[in-house]
Structure 1
Amino acid sequence: MTRTVTAALGRLGRVRRDALRAECAPLAELDDVELGARLLADTPTHEHRDPALLRHWAETATGFGTRLRSRCAAAEPRVVERPGGIDRLLLARYVSRPTPTVELFTDTLALGEELVDLLGWRDWYAEGALRATALAHEDAHRLLHGDAALRRALRERLGHTALRVGRFRITGHVAGSEELAAHGYAAARTGLGRSPLLLTAALASAIRALVRN
């Protein structure tokens, strides 16, 4: 049963909560590849790319991340929980220096849990799964950050040519691809019903609603 929303989203009032539901409902109708393609389309350098190419890259990068689920890094980073994520549109982030650390933003995490209840998405995102998903997502970034061979393999899989001279070809980085790989990794690691991309898009709508409030 959906719980009563009493925290951040409760302050929006019934009319604005209904408007937020209406804004997010169409997102759930999109498949995960389309959500990924939209993320790429909103990434600088991709503004004029062919939508079919963006869908191909989204599917490829997400699949690459899904297959990384059996990998684990040599050492676990420390986890630091702090507020301040809503203002920066961040649920979590990985920093490698001075000490490998995952920063988990408790205010955004709490908002995400409220939002899942408000939208009736609990079958996709079980209670407590958001924290595990955020940590898994940052673990994927840690894997990619620390392994040049993995990053090169992702570029090869995507097949984006940055430079070609005769028969020689240099693959280029696809902006946003590592983020999609991390989403695929997190979904596979935590067994979510839908990609974290869906909740990320809904969270952006919720934060905009709170800012307007």
Structure 2
Amino acid sequence: MFEIKDIKFKKILDIKFLCINNPITCIVGSSGSGKTTLLKMLNVLNLPDEGTIIYNGEDISKIDTLKLRRKVVMLGQTPVIYSGSVEDNLQIGLEFSRKLPASKVAMEESLARVELSKKLTDNCGSFSGGEKQRLCLARVMLMDADTYLLDEPSAALDKKTEEFIIDNLAKFVLENNKQLIMVTHSEQIANKFSDSLIRIENGRVTEAYHE
């Protein structure tokens, strides 16, 4: 759970109070409203000029960054694919977090969850944008974090695939007692999780499910 208190960041964000405590939360708003900036703060990729962010009772500015990012994993808008095979790309997130490698079964399950029909030995160089996005989603799910921060997780996907992946992500989070916070422009996704919606406009929260 996150509690955000009196956050200010440049001229982008000005949030008096925000509590994010649902298993699944959607953050919506117009382009440039500060959604991605806020998401990055939850992973300490951005640091506020003022205010505090509390994660499960601890001030995140006082938590070791590596320790925090083992628990709070972020996937950005642009898929980051590393040279090598599908397996290399799935394992690298665990390597960065200094966790044990995933088993072959676990990797294949993660690929099935995002509907990516590739072999672990396949080279990623020729993957399409949508395939890269799905591979990145599979990678973050393998990392077994407590909280997943996703910035437009289905931006490169068609609507049918988008619905499949978001439904599977939601199922994964709920079944494993985890938390999912995602920024989205998709009305379809926002409507699906309308009871846990946060709307940001001009850097301020204009709507939040806890209010």
TM over 0.5: no
Which structure has more helix as a fraction of its residues?
Answer: 1
Which structure has more strand as a fraction of its residues?
Answer: 2
* TM-score, normalised relative to structure 1: 0.31
